[in-house]
């Protein structure tokens, strides 16, 4: 993608800044509705609790401006599956039943208004598994393509190649701090970055599934990864890689075929 692909103004792809008639027009044009699915949770001593919501929304807006097909981005779903972060404070969490119900209400609402495609773009690790299950169920329930992905994974190996001190996006880390530095550097508590690293974690045996508190996985600060290596340039590169991949997904006709009626 080139910078020229961002000529579409941000307001043209933000659901919250459009009028009802403008949104009806987008529905008639077959626009992809994009829902950033995120969280409100602790991100160490140096980043705001809005981190996942801010990053996911920013990636989706940039992608919609690049997509080359009609697309509109909802405000982020700011509550997700975050109970593992509760010991550190600053966290609001849904349970799975509510999480799935909110997604279903969004899907029902957009379908009622004439939209036929919903793209769930996740930016929080705790949402990955429940979102995958919910998206498959909603496809069948509403008879429309509901596609889910996570910004940490959508661009393949491009994100790890940008980072220096960790193999991928972790939590309040080199990557997430870089996003903030690229977008809103004034929100990073720079005086807290040096002491943000967690104590050694409790060993988590695998391959087994069970609940683990983040106080066990990232003791003392709730940070996984090394935010000291973050830079604005890395943040911009991360934004570009993710938004390119999301824009490509919005154009991928194979993703947006109607689901088969299996029941």
Whole-number Å distance between alpha carbons of 60 and 152: 13
Report in angstroms the alpha-carbon separations of 176 from 35, 134, 186, 244: 20, 26, 14, 18
Average pLDDT (212-225) is: 96
Confidence of residue 62 (pLDDT cuts 50, 70, 90): very high
Residue 1 has pLDDT above 70, yes or no: no
In the three-class reduction of DSSP (H, G, I as helix; E, B as strand; rest coil), residue 149 is classed as strand
Amino acid 5: pLDDT: 60
pLDDT tens per residue, range 117-153: 999 999 999 999 999 999 999 999 999 999 999 999 9
Average pLDDT (97-106) is: 98
Strand residues in the chain grouped as ranges (E): 32-37, 71-73, 118-122, 146-150
Average pLDDT (219-238) is: 98
pLDDT tens per residue, range 200-218: 998 878 899 899 999 999 9
Confidence of residue 2 (pLDDT cuts 50, 70, 90): very low
Average pLDDT (52-67) is: 98
Percent pLDDT > 90 in the chain is 94
Confidence of residue 4 (pLDDT cuts 50, 70, 90): very low
Longest dimension (CA), the chain: 57
Residue 69's contacts (CB-CB under 8 Å, 6 or more residues apart) are 31, 32, 250, 251
Amino acid 7: pLDDT: 72
Whole-number Å distance between alpha carbons of 95 and 98: 6
Average pLDDT (242-260) is: 97
CATH homologous superfamily of domain 12-253?
Creatininase (3.40.50.10310)
In the three-class reduction of DSSP (H, G, I as helix; E, B as strand; rest coil), residue 168 is classed as coil
Residue 167's contacts (CB-CB under 8 Å, 6 or more residues apart) are 160
Average pLDDT (9-21) is: 97
Average pLDDT (171-192) is: 98
The full length of the chain comes to: 263
Confidence of residue 70 (pLDDT cuts 50, 70, 90): very high
């Amino acid at each position: 993608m080139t910078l020229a692909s961002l000529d579409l103004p941000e307001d043209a792809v933000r659901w919250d800044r459009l009028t009802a008639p403008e949104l009806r027009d987008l529905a008639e044009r077959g626009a992809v509705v994009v829902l950033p699915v995120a969280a409100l949770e602790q991100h160490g001593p140096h980043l705001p609790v809005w981190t996942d919501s801010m990053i996911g929304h920013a990636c989706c807006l940039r992608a919609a401006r690049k997509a080359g097909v009609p697309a509109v981005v909802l405000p982020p779903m700011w509550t997700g599956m975050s109970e593992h972060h509760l010991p550190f404070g600053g966290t609001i969490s849904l349970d799975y039943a509510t999480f799935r119900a909110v997604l279903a209400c969004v899907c029902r609402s957009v379908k009622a208004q004439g939209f036929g495609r919903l793209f769930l773009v996740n930016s929080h690790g705790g949402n990955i598994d429940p979102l995958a299950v919910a998206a498959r169920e909603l496809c069948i329930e509403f008879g429309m393509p509901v596609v889910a992905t996570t910004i940490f994974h959508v661009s393949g190996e491009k994100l790890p190649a940008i980072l220096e001190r960790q193999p991928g996006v972790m939590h309040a880390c080199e990557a997430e701090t870089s996003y903030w530095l690229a977008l809103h550097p004034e929100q990073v508590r720079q005086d807290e970055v040096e002491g943000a690293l967690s104590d050694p974690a409790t060993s988590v045996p695998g391959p087994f599934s069970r609940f683990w508190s983040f106080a066990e996985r990232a003791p003392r600060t709730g940070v996984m990864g090394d935010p000291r290596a973050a830079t604005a340039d890395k943040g911009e590169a991360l934004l570009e890689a993710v938004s390119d991949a999301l824009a490509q997904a919005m154009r991928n006709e194979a993703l947006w075929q109607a689901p088969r009626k299996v029941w």
